[in-house]
């Protein structure tokens, strides 16, 4: 049996029946990392010794009857979530040697549940990118075709799961950074409602848009991880003080009684014909499962979402990244003639080109004389987009769209054209602007390359999305396909 290929629930069953141990499972994943990670580069840091130590503790918990569904299950954590004693780099030279003294709330929650942390996953620097090519260290590669990108910014987290290096992982989603790479890598990626999962200990990119979520091999695993990471956290001022349901109860295999809208605004120019065909086939399958489907125009301001996002997100990034001054922590320019010279040289050498681009965009949008014309107007558009989603959800239980208008593109193909790179998130970023939940599930292949299906829900509508994702998944075999690695 290839233990590294198991899902969470399959591995948990074996652990509970004592048919394997967490240490055996962890060694299998570490062996898999050693075998395939040089080809796909999912990890920035591998914590082999720490993982085996955690696995030993997990085996003791299982023996003592203290296990949770995640006890002893090896995971990867995106490298923008603080991990006590393990470096957290955000795939940036600025934080290359930074070792946090505390855990992010989600990391602590998983640790309390018995997680085994295999290591920290590669990403676009400070989560700014759609391909994981903007990592300061190395690009990650798509395990379905290593000449292509895995998506981003949670590319390493999705590669680790798709390549069976980790049983599951955590990513962060600011404009599609969980769902787009999940679609590109044929795994399940979930972006919860803003505030549903604590952001404490997540290194900030755009604070009003960032959200942490699970990346898993199937929808059942997604529900199990959601159970562990959702909940109120007084350490996060944006955390929602709402009861958390048992998400596994949403996993029913039919969609009878659900009304699903298919907004024509997501049929964007440039959508590849193969992606469109796969999407239409997926919608037909949802109808066969009992859902009532309506195609139409429900979200007219969606066409402005990309422009609004690329004013709001860089503006917040320019404020959040101002803290990296070379004084308190992180990289510091070694040779400087004055404090101001040190500050300038630190940012010049510590940040990559894409981060600098977004800082400059945001600083310009917030500057005197331009604030009203850009940032304030973008916030007004954001309000309109939220209102349109509210009206749509008065009619529908969820909305169905492609996850991305294209299959994974080739490494280097869009690096010289930032606008084309930004368009990769055209189907995902309106969700972050509105602060609502969405999930991407595997929905087929075009010439051997993955296609994702996205379901978008109303605020705190995670249960409905998991029901849709589970019913669709159980009626197809896309999630069972394995990469050629």
**Do the strands 116-121 and 74-78 form a parallel or antiparallel pair, or are they unpaired?**
parallel
153 in catalytic set: yes
Please tell me whether residue 299 adopts helix, strand or coil conformation.
coil
Query: Of these residues, 22, 135, 157, 177, which one is catalytic?
Result: 177
What's the token pair of residue 60? Answer: 């003791």
CA angle 324–329–331, rounded 5-degree value: 70
Virtual torsion, Cα 178, 312, 93, 78, nearest 10 deg: -20
User: Smallest Cα–Cα separation from 25: which of 72, 64, 77?
Assistant: 72
E strand or H helix that includes residue 189: strand 188-191
Quick one: angle between helices 22-40 and 48-63, nearest 10? 150
- Answer whether 45's CB lies under 8 Å from 79's CB: yes
User: Smallest Cα–Cα separation from 406: which of 192, 58, 110, 131?
Assistant: 131
Virtual torsion, Cα 28, 51, 172, 142, nearest 10 deg: -30
CA atoms within 13 A on the CB side of 101: 1
Residue 347 Cα distances to 66, 310, 314, 322, 470, angstroms: 48, 21, 16, 9, 45
Within 8 A by CB and 6+ apart from 25, the residues are 3, 4, 6, 11, 14, 15, 55, 72, 73, 74, 116, 167
What is the distance, to the nearest Å, from the Cα of residue 101 to the centroid of all Cα atoms in its chain? 24
Query: Of these residues, 78, 191, 217, 347, which one is catalytic?
Result: 78
78 in catalytic set: yes
User: Smallest Cα–Cα separation from 230: which of 214, 215, 244, 220?
Assistant: 244
What's the token pair of residue 80? Answer: 């923008």
Which residue's entry shows tokens 């798709």?
A: 162
Query: Of these residues, 22, 153, 157, 404, which one is catalytic?
Result: 153
Looking at the annotation, which residues are catalytic?
78, 153, 177
């Amino acid at each position: 049996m290839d233990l590294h290929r198991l899902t969470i629930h399959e591995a948990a069953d074996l652990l509970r029946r004592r048919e394997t141990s967490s240490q055996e499972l962890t060694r299998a994943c570490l062996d898999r990392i050693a075998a395939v990670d040089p080809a796909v580069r999912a990890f920035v840091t591998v914590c082999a010794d720490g993982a085996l130590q955690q696995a030993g503790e997990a085996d003791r918990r299982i023996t003592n009857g203290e296990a949770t569904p995640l006890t002893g299950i090896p995971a990867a954590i995106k490298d923008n979530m603080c991990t006590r004693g393990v470096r957290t780099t955000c795939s940036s030279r600025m934080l290359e040697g930074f070792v946090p003294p505390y855990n992010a709330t989600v990391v602590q929650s998983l640790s309390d549940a018995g997680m085994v942390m295999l290591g920290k996953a590669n990403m676009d620097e400070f989560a700014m990118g759609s391909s994981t090519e903007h990592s300061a260290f190395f690009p990650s590669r798509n395990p379905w075709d290593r000449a292509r990108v895995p998506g981003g910014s949670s590319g390493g987290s999705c590669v680790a799961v798709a390549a069976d290096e980790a049983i599951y992982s955590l990513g962060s989603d600011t404009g599609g950074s969980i769902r787009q790479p999940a679609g590109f890598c044929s795994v399940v990626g979930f972006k919860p409602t803003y505030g549903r999962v604590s952001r404490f200990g997540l290194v900030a990119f755009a604070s009003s848009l960032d959200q942490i979520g699970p990346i898993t091999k199937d929808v059942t695993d997604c529900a199990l991880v959601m159970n562990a990471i959702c909940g109120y956290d007084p350490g996060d001022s944006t955390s929602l003080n709402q009861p958390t349901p048992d998400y596994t109860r949403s996993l029913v295999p039919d969609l009878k009684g659900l009304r699903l809208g298919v907004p024509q605004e997501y049929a964007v120019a440039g959508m590849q014909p193969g992606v469109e065909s796969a999407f239409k086939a997926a919608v037909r399958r949802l109808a066969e499962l009992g859902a009532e489907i309506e195609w139409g125009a429900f979200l007219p301001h969606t066409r402005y979402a990309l422009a609004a996002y690329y004013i709001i997100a860089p503006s917040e990034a320019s404020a959040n990244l101002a803290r990296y001054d070379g004084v308190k922590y992180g990289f510091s320019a070694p040779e400087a003639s004055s404090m101001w010279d040190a500050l300038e040289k630190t940012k010049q050498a510590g940040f990559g080109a894409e981060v600098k681009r977004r800082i400059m965009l945001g600083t310009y949008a917030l500057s005197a004389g331009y604030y009203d014309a850009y940032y304030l107007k973008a916030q007004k558009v954001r309000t309109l987009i939220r209102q349109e989603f509210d009206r749509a959800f008065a009619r529908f239980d969820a909305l169905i769209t492609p996850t991305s208008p294209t299959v994974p593109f080739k490494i280097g193909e869009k690096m010289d054209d930032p606008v084309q790179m930004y368009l990769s998130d055209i189907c995902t970023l309106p969700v972050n602007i509105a602060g609502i939940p969405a999930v991407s599930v595997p929905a087929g292949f075009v010439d051997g390359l993955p296609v994702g299906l996205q379901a978008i829900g109303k605020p705190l509508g995670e249960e409905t999305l998991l029901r849709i994702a589970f019913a669709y998944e159980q009626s197809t075999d896309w999630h069972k396909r394995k990469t050629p690695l």
